[in-house]
Amino acid sequence: MNLTIRSFVLLSLFLSQSLCVKRSIDLIAAHGLISDNRLPRNVVPTFYKLEIQPIPETRTFKGTVWINMTWVTATDEIVLHADEELEINEVDVTQYVADDLTTKFSSVIPPNTKLKIKDVVRLPKKPMVIKLEKKIGEGTQSELYITYNGKMNNETSEGLFMHNYDDPVTGESKWYIASHLRPNLARSMFPCFDEPAFKVPFLVSIARYKNMNSLSNMPLEWSEASETEPKWVWDHFRQTPPMSTFTVGVVVTNFPSITYNSGGERERMPIVRVFARPDFLLSFNNTTLKVARSLKIIQKFWGTKYPLPKLDCLALPNYQAIRPADNWGLILFKESEMAGKKTWHISQELVYQWLGSLATPYWWSDAHVNNALARYLTAYTTQKINDGHETFNNWPMTMLYSIYYEFSKRYPHGKSTAIKQDSASAKTELIFRMLNYTLGEKTFRAGLQKFMSDRQYKTFFSDDIWSTLTTQARNDNVLDTSISVNEIAASWITKDRLPVLNVVRDYENKTAKIEQRVYLRERPHDVPDQDKFLWWIPLVMVREDKLNFGNSTPMMWIKKEKEIVLNDMPVSDMFIIINPEEIGPFPVNYDNKNWNMLAQYLMNDDVRTKVPVNTRAKLLHDAWNLAYAGDLCFGTALNMTLFLKYEREYLAWDPVFTMIDHIGRHIDSSEVHQKFQTYVRLLLTPLYEELGNEPEDGETEGRAHLRSSSKVFLCQAGYKPCIEEAQAAFKKWMQIGNPDEGNPVANQYICPVFKWGTKAEWEFGLQRIINFPESRKANERTYLLKTLAGCPIDSWKIEKLLNITVLQENRHFTDNDIYLIFSMLTGGANGYTTLFNFLDKNWKPLKARFEKKAHLWNSLITSATSVFKTQEGLDMVAQFYLEKQGEFGTADFVVEKALKNIKEESKWSTDNLPVIEKWLDDYLKFNQA
């Protein structure tokens, strides 16, 4: 298999994940890393006054915090967070309002007296406990005063941190200080009740040198020179609205700023400023504009103005964290991120100024839904801001394909909690999208606006969002009183699965039977209890006789029913489409006749575009994936690709590349593969030739992507011009005097050359690995080795490589190299078949060599036996297993498992190969001159 292909497919599958990176708060929620026990609720904060003095010379800071607190129930303990690294100096508790008891029964403790502290207990990883001598009564208010010292971080951009950077003009080393307190690092900057639910006002003061400036969440109120320390100035900021500890922000820099020029707009906008190093400031010229535009869209969406008087965005050199720090009113970006052409990553941070800062998830577990809604709103804002010009990763298609793929596996997510977290989030995001369509944009937005106005300056639980939507939907009469959004959402969110609808029409009686079940693609489909999985599914239908894609109101909801029957379907020569535009995240299967009507319709150039491109893509995607899963005849599915001859929109092509890869890999050991490659060439050549080899000026991302994908897949299918181009590039390398000093060939050319090229070319590559100088980057060597092993389709190349590395134990190849070679050989039938034969032939020496290296032995046996896909392969491996029984050692279980898998795969091949071949024969007969 072609490496580029594999990485391309992985790339497109995971693109959505890497683009919409999760934030620490969400990640941690899923990973359960926040193991904090909740603080007791008997003493709660009502107000903070915070003074911070960061001292750059020593990378330390001094702090003082005053916390007003109320006794909700009587207790003699105050429990709050203070990071172990904080060095606590003074602690005082002063009561300023007496409790009920003291006022009722003449005061025991007069107001404004210090309460006696018995002990301050600090244990590693535990909250700090202040033990008082006496129990204090309910209703008491007092002030906690703490002075402390801390260290600023340097290597990470977490907590309060200080980074250096070089002034590009003078070369001088400079510094700045900033804070990033998500998810629970406020405790490392000041002792506090560090849970999102304690939202109270803050009064922040920052000390800085005279030649620096400081910033915080609110605008500066006033400054004063320090009386005791002549170099220092104290900046005092305005009091904040109630907010969570993690949204507090502190910055000290001397960056200049640009302020958004509202051009005299009457709309009330906060003051938007962008700060950056002086020499970079101009490149952020347009950032204020982007920020202002996003803000307007988001505040219109929420119907709630941006709540603070100002918003500062900083571009920080050397900023180390993956995500920006979205302090309320003070967002910190990496320079490169802020300078990007796109806007979505800026919008994303702005979205969190409402969802997170203004209305805050009560606990980390509520952050899931918050995160999904923020993702949805980011997509919404990005679409609005660019009128659809910024593709935002083809939202939502790329994300949809990746969750279809993930949730239909036998074991979704494997063992990866990161993938699990991301697909759960993506799914919930799609549920928001589904609700927008099915409840209608007006209701959806009104519901969320109500939610925001109810929860602003407060916290919320996930269910609050669904409940407000339910109420709104019922008010607007778009949802029966028997249905709640909570129930609908729960049916999707609580399962690691997605449904598929199976539609079978009765053309005589004009009815359609619609059945829901779990969508399973990877075989075998033996998931336990699958009958019990049922969803609330909106039934949106488009029919050919009244073609209208504008109405996304469901004709009904399938209420966790297994099967329903629809009446009054169109006449027998008119198709229907269920779930157009991927309104809900589920595939739909039809009877063959309906599929074929769709295929016919899409072939017709005059009408095809009446079906919007996302729906065209969906039909294609669903058809081949259902066939791949064994639920649809491959002939019918391949018919759905016929319209591609005329199709030029990237989105419609997108599912095809994955199809070529998956089916190609599945059949590459059979004769059919050649025919399939011819089909691929016939499909892609006209497209590629039309797009041209070189990008056009100002072309869209879609077009560029279509060109590069079609090229990659054409090369893989042996398209002559591509191979010649690759060989020409490779030749330059072969002709230079000292080829080991560096590689002048672009990576994209290497695989085609090793795959289709000559013996001399491949052996030249082999020599380069053997002679690879230590001074060069190891990853270049790895790439070369991967392609050298993984790309060839000639057995002799693979045999030669195995002989040299494994049998002759060439000293230039390490165990890791061998491991890599074994795993690369599983990518294509020639690779693993050759490896199998090699193992069979050299059993004794190989066993002797690897017996003591279990991981290599297991890897060899796995790679050599488990990837076969045909009856022939099954017989070979079974025979081999019998002959060598008892000799496999640690790898015994590997072969047993392999046999089971091959059985499954070979059944697929027996069922589908003849059908695919027959279809390809017909296609080639018709399309080849």
Among 23, 368, 427, 433, binds ligand NAG (CB under 6 A): 433
Site string for ligand NAG, 302-331 (x = CB under 6 A): ----------------x-------------
Q: Which is nearer to ligand NAG, 435 or 620 (CB)?
A: 435
- Both tokens of 8, joined, read 């391309």
> Distance (Å, rounded) from C-alpha 267 to C-alpha 250?
29
Position 868, amino acid: F
- Both tokens of 457, joined, read 């300056």
Q: Which is nearer to ligand NAG, 156 or 879 (CB)?
A: 156
Provide the minimum distance between the beta carbon of 383 and ligand NAG in the complex, in angstroms, as a whole number: 6
Site string for ligand NAG, 750-789 (x = CB under 6 A): ----------------------------------------
Q: Which is nearer to ligand NAG, 508 or 694 (CB)?
A: 508
Provide the minimum distance between the beta carbon of 918 and ligand NAG in the complex, in angstroms, as a whole number: 30
Provide the minimum distance between the beta carbon of 616 and ligand NAG in the complex, in angstroms, as a whole number: 17
Provide the minimum distance between the beta carbon of 47 and ligand NAG in the complex, in angstroms, as a whole number: 4
> Distance (Å, rounded) from C-alpha 651 to C-alpha 618?
10
> Buried b / exposed e across 395-426, counting CB within 10 Å, b at 16+?
bbbbbbbbbbbbbbeeebbeeeeebbbbbbbb
Site string for ligand NAG, 53-72 (x = CB under 6 A): ---------------x----
Provide the minimum distance between the beta carbon of 275 and ligand NAG in the complex, in angstroms, as a whole number: 16
Provide the minimum distance between the beta carbon of 508 and ligand NAG in the complex, in angstroms, as a whole number: 6
Three-state secondary structure along 393-427? CCCCHHHHHHHHHHHCCCCCCCCCHHHHHHHHHHH
Provide the minimum distance between the beta carbon of 581 and ligand NAG in the complex, in angstroms, as a whole number: 9
The DSSP output letter for 765 is H
Yes or no: say if 89 and 148 are a contact pair by the CB < 8 Å rule: yes
Q: Which is nearer to ligand NAG, 390 or 872 (CB)?
A: 390
Position 267, amino acid: E
Q: Which is nearer to ligand NAG, 95 or 462 (CB)?
A: 95
The phi and psi torsions of 644 (rounded to 5 degrees) equal -65, -25
Q: Which is nearer to ligand NAG, 383 or 486 (CB)?
A: 383
Q: Which is nearer to ligand NAG, 582 or 622 (CB)?
A: 582
Among 64, 149, 286, 842, binds ligand NAG (CB under 6 A): 286
Yes or no: say if 207 and 234 are a contact pair by the CB < 8 Å rule: yes
Q: Which is nearer to ligand NAG, 156 or 885 (CB)?
A: 156
Which residue has tokens 């906690």? 144
Using CB under 6 A as the binding rule, the residues of this chain from 535 to 564 that contact ligand NAG are 552
**How do strand 459-460 and strand 360-361 relate by DSSP bridges?**
parallel
Using CB under 6 A as the binding rule, the residues of this chain from 160 to 199 that contact ligand NAG are 163-164
Three-state secondary structure along 885-904? CCCCHHHHHHHHHHHHHHHH
Number of alpha carbons in the 13 Å side-chain half-sphere of residue 604: 10
> Buried b / exposed e across 182-217, counting CB within 10 Å, b at 16+?
bbbbbbbbbbbbbbbbbbbbbbbbbbbbeebbbbbb
Q: Which is nearer to ligand NAG, 386 or 600 (CB)?
A: 386
- Residue 383: is it exposed, middle or buried by C-beta count within 10 angstroms (0-12/13-18/19+)? middle
Provide the minimum distance between the beta carbon of 556 and ligand NAG in the complex, in angstroms, as a whole number: 17
Q: Which is nearer to ligand NAG, 83 or 582 (CB)?
A: 582
Yes or no: say if 124 and 87 are a contact pair by the CB < 8 Å rule: no
Q: Is 261 in the site for ligand NAG (CB under 6 A)?
A: no
Q: Which is nearer to ligand NAG, 431 or 820 (CB)?
A: 431
The phi and psi torsions of 397 (rounded to 5 degrees) equal -65, -50
Q: Which is nearer to ligand NAG, 417 or 700 (CB)?
A: 700
For residue 183, give Cα distances in angstroms to 36, 125, 196, 425, 781.
12, 16, 9, 18, 40
Provide the minimum distance between the beta carbon of 730 and ligand NAG in the complex, in angstroms, as a whole number: 38
Q: Which is nearer to ligand NAG, 540 or 860 (CB)?
A: 540
Among 441, 545, 671, 724, binds ligand NAG (CB under 6 A): 441
Q: Is 280 in the site for ligand NAG (CB under 6 A)?
A: no
Using CB under 6 A as the binding rule, the residues of this chain from 456 to 515 that contact ligand NAG are 506, 508-509
With a CB cutoff of 8 Å and minimum separation 6, the contacts of 297 are 347, 380, 381, 384, 385
Q: Which is nearer to ligand NAG, 651 or 891 (CB)?
A: 651
Site size toward ligand NAG, by CB under 6 A: 24
Q: Is the peptide bond before 580 cis (omega within 30 degrees of 0)?
A: no
Yes or no: say if 212 and 254 are a contact pair by the CB < 8 Å rule: yes
Q: Which is nearer to ligand NAG, 580 or 757 (CB)?
A: 580
Provide the minimum distance between the beta carbon of 448 and ligand NAG in the complex, in angstroms, as a whole number: 12
Q: Is the peptide bond before 183 cis (omega within 30 degrees of 0)?
A: yes
The DSSP output letter for 561 is -
Among 380, 586, 749, 836, binds ligand NAG (CB under 6 A): 380
Only segment of 16-24, 229-237, 430-438, 528-536 that touches ligand NAG (CB under 6 A): 430-438
Which residues in 56-197 belong to E strands, given as ranges? 60-71, 75-80, 87-97, 113-114, 117-121, 128-136, 141-151, 159-166, 173-180
Q: Is 47 in the site for ligand NAG (CB under 6 A)?
A: yes
- Both tokens of 852, joined, read 């003591």
Q: Which is nearer to ligand NAG, 161 or 628 (CB)?
A: 161
Provide the minimum distance between the beta carbon of 324 and ligand NAG in the complex, in angstroms, as a whole number: 16
Q: Which is nearer to ligand NAG, 164 or 814 (CB)?
A: 164
Give the rounded distance of the alpha carbon of 283 from its chain centre: 28
- Both tokens of 810, joined, read 């060439």
Sign of the CA dihedral with 891 first, then 893, 895, and 901 last: negative
Provide the minimum distance between the beta carbon of 221 and ligand NAG in the complex, in angstroms, as a whole number: 16
Only segment of 405-413, 431-439, 585-593, 914-922 that touches ligand NAG (CB under 6 A): 431-439
Site string for ligand NAG, 118-157 (x = CB under 6 A): -------------------------x----------x---
> Distance (Å, rounded) from C-alpha 34 to C-alpha 80?
16
> Buried b / exposed e across 477-509, counting CB within 10 Å, b at 16+?
ebbeeebbbeebbebbbebebbbbbbbbbebee
Provide the minimum distance between the beta carbon of 152 and ligand NAG in the complex, in angstroms, as a whole number: 10
Using CB under 6 A as the binding rule, the residues of this chain from 334 to 363 that contact ligand NAG are none
Provide the minimum distance between the beta carbon of 96 and ligand NAG in the complex, in angstroms, as a whole number: 4
**How do strand 536-539 and strand 511-518 relate by DSSP bridges?**
unpaired
Provide the minimum distance between the beta carbon of 18 and ligand NAG in the complex, in angstroms, as a whole number: 22
Which residue has tokens 């359609």? 512
Sign of the CA dihedral with 877 first, then 879, 881, and 883 last: negative
> Distance (Å, rounded) from C-alpha 142 to C-alpha 68?
6
Q: Which is nearer to ligand NAG, 174 or 681 (CB)?
A: 174
Among 56, 139, 219, 440, binds ligand NAG (CB under 6 A): 440
Provide the minimum distance between the beta carbon of 638 and ligand NAG in the complex, in angstroms, as a whole number: 29
Contact residues toward ligand NAG (CB under 6 A) are 46-47, 68, 96, 143, 154, 163-164, 282-283, 285-286, 318, 380, 383, 433, 436-437, 440-441, 506, 508-509, 552
